[in-house]
Amino acid sequence: MSATRPAWARELLVSAAAVVLALAVGAVLIVVSDAEVLSTWSYFFSYPPDALSASWSAVSDAYGALFSGAFGGLRQLAETLVQATPLICGGLGVSLAFRAGLFNIGAQGQLIVGALCAAWVGFTLHLPPGLHVLVALVAGVLGGALWGGIVGVLKARTGAHEVILTIMLNYVALYLLQWLLTTNAFQRPGRNDPISPVVDGSAQFPAIPGSRLHLGFLVALLAAGAVWWLLTRSTTGFQLRAVGANPDAARTAGMSVGTAYTLAMLGAGALAGLAGVQQVLGTNSPLTDGIAGTVGFDSITVALLGRASPVGTVVAGLVFGALNAGGLQMQLQTQTPLTLTTVLQATIVLFIAAPALVRAVFRIRGEGTGAVLAKGWNA
């Protein structure tokens, strides 16, 4: 492929190729995990059509069910969008930090704190519809921003490494949630298990009748638009990108690197907190110690696949939302283990982290993810 392609086009090709390679690896796993199909390979050299036909049927049926479960109808499409919504918000938080040269591993903790704040407002305060959901949303975003801002301030003032800080704060947030769910302020009356009340209907995002798709998806798209504007059209965004590309040069130019780190982590935490808001106000889930699931960690994968760009993050979130939504249908129809979707996600990350391999397989020229990382994700 031509080396004259724009950098963003080459990066997009590498991401798409990584997904294709992951699906190829998944196809091999589908074949080797099916005893009936595997048995046909024992006499492959005697009669190849049996093995090839059985393998093609197994793979096409599994991936067909996966696609059908994700896009087979309006209900399936709505579920894909619901699954993608928190991933988009969390991925945007990780991407924003990347652009400032920070590796935000703390989206999980920021999401938990955001969910805590939004849920508390949702089931404790009793406000008019419209106002209630707005106050709960703001509370969740501010909670996530506060949790992320702690990292930014410590990084700016003490030089502490953000990876260590965010990992440790993930545990603090989780154990804080577990403790709060045993207190009268958060535990559901009449229950002994750690579960909160469900937020009031006035604090829930309006949903399309007959589906779980809610207004939060549009909020996630607006957040992506806001991040795009911040990074490409604002002075603050220019400073964040400059610090991410070369903090020493930015400092020489008169920019405050510490301020940039703090602002980046405040914004990253706010976006991850918005993912927590989606969990409790969108899907109307009560708080439990599993409210975050793996969304915070999956958000890192989404940001990697999306090349830390707002548009790419939205697309990557939709891809992972489709995998999550279609995985159950794949298991029900073809008895393919649901964990295959997790393997696919992990394999995508593996290939994203090895861009030289992907470029070699598909003969894609140009810089890969490693070069982008080295330049602060500004290539």
DSSP 207: B
Q: Are residues 182 and 293 in the same domain?
A: yes
- The confidence score (pLDDT) of residue 7 equals 66
Same structural domain for residues 88 and 171? yes
Q: Is the pLDDT of residue 1 over 60?
A: no
Q: Are residues 242 and 362 in the same domain?
A: no
Instruction: State residue 8's pLDDT score.
Output: 66
As a dihedral over the C-alpha atoms of residue 121, residue 87, residue 222, residue 211, rounded to 10 degrees, the angle is: -80
- pLDDT of res. 367: 52
Percent of the chain whose predicted confidence (pLDDT) is above 90? 70
Q: Is the pLDDT of residue 324 over 60?
A: yes
The total number of structural domains in the chain stands at 2
Q: What average pLDDT does range 127-132 have in this prediction? A: 94
The predicted structure's pLDDT at residue 375: 43
Segment 14-44, tens digit of pLDDT = 888 888 999 999 999 999 988 899 999 999 8
Name the residue with higher pLDDT: 204 or 4: 204
Whether residues 121 and 41 fall in one domain: no
Give tens-digit pLDDT for 331-340: 888 888 878 8
- Domain presence at residue 178: yes
Average pLDDT score over the chain: 90
- Return the pLDDT at 368: 46
Asked whether residue 371 is assigned to any structural domain, the reply reads: no
Q: Indicate whether 13 and 117 sit together in one domain.
A: no
Residue 350 lies in a domain: yes
**Residues 271, 227 contacting (CB under 8 angstroms):** yes
Domain co-membership, 145 together with 288: yes
Q: 325 in a domain, yes or no?
A: no
Distance CA 276, CA 111 (A): 4
Alpha helices by DSSP H, listed for 74-130, are 74-99, 107-124
CA 301 – CA 167 distance, rounded (Å): 16
Per the domain annotation, does 6 fall within a domain? yes
Whether 119 has a pLDDT exceeding 70, the answer reads yes
* Contact of 91 with 259, CB cutoff 8 Å: no
- Does residue 50 belong to any structural domain of this protein? yes
Measured CA to CA in angstroms, residue 70 lies from 20, 222, 322 at distances of 17, 23, 5
Domain span at residue 150? 79-306
> Do 167 and 46 fall within a single domain?
no
Q: Clarify whether residues 101 and 1 are in a common domain.
A: no
**Mean of pLDDT values over 102-119:** 96
Distance between CA atoms of residues 144 and 137, nearest Å:
11
Confidence of residue 77 (pLDDT cuts 50, 70, 90): very high
